[in-house]
Amino acid sequence: MDTVINLFCAAVLAGTPLLFGTLGEILTEKSGNLNLGVEGMMFMGAIAGLAGAYFYEQIFTVPSGIVAAIIAVVFSFLCGVLGALIYSFLTVTLRSNQNVTGLALTIFGTGFGNFFGDVLAGRAPSGYAAVGAEIKSVFQGIKIPFLSDIPYIGKLFFSYNFLVYVGVIIAVLMHFFLNKTRAGLNLRAVGEDPAAADAAGINVTKYKYLATCIGGGICGIGGMYVSMVICSGVWVFNCVGGIGWIAVALVIFATWSPSRALLGSLIFGGLSIMRLYVPLGIPIQIYDIFPYLATVIVLIATGIRQSKEHSIPKSTGLNYFREDR
Partner 1 sequence: MSEENNAIRLVNITKSFGSVLANDSISLDVRYGEILALLGENGSGKTTLMNILSGIYYPDSGTIYVKGQEVKIPSPKDAFNLGIGMIHQHFKLVDVLTAAENIILGLPGSVRLNRKAISAEIKKISSRYGFDIEPEKKIYNMSVSEKQTVEIVKLLYRGADILILDEPTAVLTPQESDKLFEVLKNMKNDGKAIVIITHKLNEVLAVSDRVSILRKGCSVGTVKTSETNRQELTELMVGHSVSLEIERPEINTKHGEYLKIVDLTCIDSDGHKVLDNINFSLNGGEILGIAGIAGSGQRELCEAIAGLYPVKGGAILCRSETPNGPVNENIVGKSPTEIIKKGVAMAFVPEDRLGMGLVASMDMVENMMLKSYKQGKGPFTERKKPRQMAERMIKELDIVTPGVSTPIRLLSGGNVQKVLLGREIASEPSVLLVAYPVRGLDINSSYTIYNLLNEQKKKGVAILFIGEDLDVLLELCDRIMVLCDGKVSGIVNAKETTKEELGLMMVHIGDEKGGETA
User: Is there binding between residue 198 and partner 1 (CB under 8 A)?
Assistant: yes
Among 172, 196, 289, 299, interactor with partner 1 by CB under 8 A: 196
Residue 319 binds to partner 1 (criterion: CB under 8 A): no
* 254 contributes a contact to partner 1 by CB under 8 A: no
Number of residues that bind partner 1 (CB under 8 A): 26
Q: How far is the CB of 267 from partner 1 (least distance, A)?
A: 26
Is 202 a binder of partner 1 (CB under 8 A)? yes
Residue 84 or 189 having the CB closest to partner 1: 189
Give least dist CB 313 to partner 1, A.
Answer: 9
Instruction: Give the integer Cα–Cα distance in Å for 223 and 27.
Output: 17
**Residue of the chain from 199, 276, 278, 286 that contacts partner 1 (CB under 8 A):** 199
Q: Which is nearer to partner 1, 203 or 238 (CB)?
A: 203
Alpha carbons 128 and 131: distance in angstroms, whole number: 10
Q: Closest CB to partner 1 among 69 and 178? A: 178
Residue 41 near residue 216, CB atoms below 8 Å: yes
Classify 226 as helix, strand or coil.
helix
Which of 127, 170, 186 has the alpha carbon at shortest distance from 261? 170
CB of 305 to partner 1, least distance (A): 11
Among 18, 10, 5, CA closest to 262:
18
Q: Which parts of 149-188 interact with partner 1 (CB under 8 A)? A: 180-183, 185-186, 188
Closest C-alpha to 125, from 225, 54, 43, 72: 54
**Nearest residue (CB) to partner 1, 2 versus 323:** 323
Largest CA distance in the chain: 64
For partner 1, the closer of residues 65 and 317 by Cβ is 317
| Minimum separation from the CB atom of position 322 to partner 1 (A) | 6
Candidates 91, 123, 87; CA nearest to 107 is 87
Neighbours of 127 (CB within 10 A): 8
Collect all residues with Cβ–Cβ distance below 8 Å to 148 and sequence separation of at least 6: 142, 154, 155, 158, 159
The distance of closest approach from Cβ of residue 29 to partner 1 in the complex, given in angstroms and rounded to an integer, is: 14
Tell me: does residue 33 bind partner 1 (CB under 8 A): no
Applying CB under 8 A, among 61, 145, 303, 323 the residue interacting with partner 1 is 323
SS3 at position 27: helix
- Listed residue (48, 225, 234) closest to 131, CA to CA: 234
CB 244 within 8 Å of CB 25: no
Q: Any contact of residue 303 with partner 1 (CB under 8 A)?
A: no
Give least dist CB 54 to partner 1, A.
39
Q: Is 133 in the site for partner 1 (CB under 8 A)?
A: no
Nearer to partner 1, 123 or 305 (CB): 305
Contact between 248 and 302 (Cβ < 8 Å): no
Q: Which is nearer to partner 1, 123 or 322 (CB)?
A: 322
Asked if residue 189 binds partner 1 (CB under 8 A), the reply is yes
Q: How many residues does the chain have?
A: 325
The nearer residue to partner 1, 177 or 277, going by C-beta atoms, is 177
- As a whole number of Å, the CA-based R_g of the chain is 20
| Binding region for partner 1 (CB under 8 A) | 180-183, 185-186, 188-189, 192-193, 195-203, 306, 308-309, 314, 322-323, 325
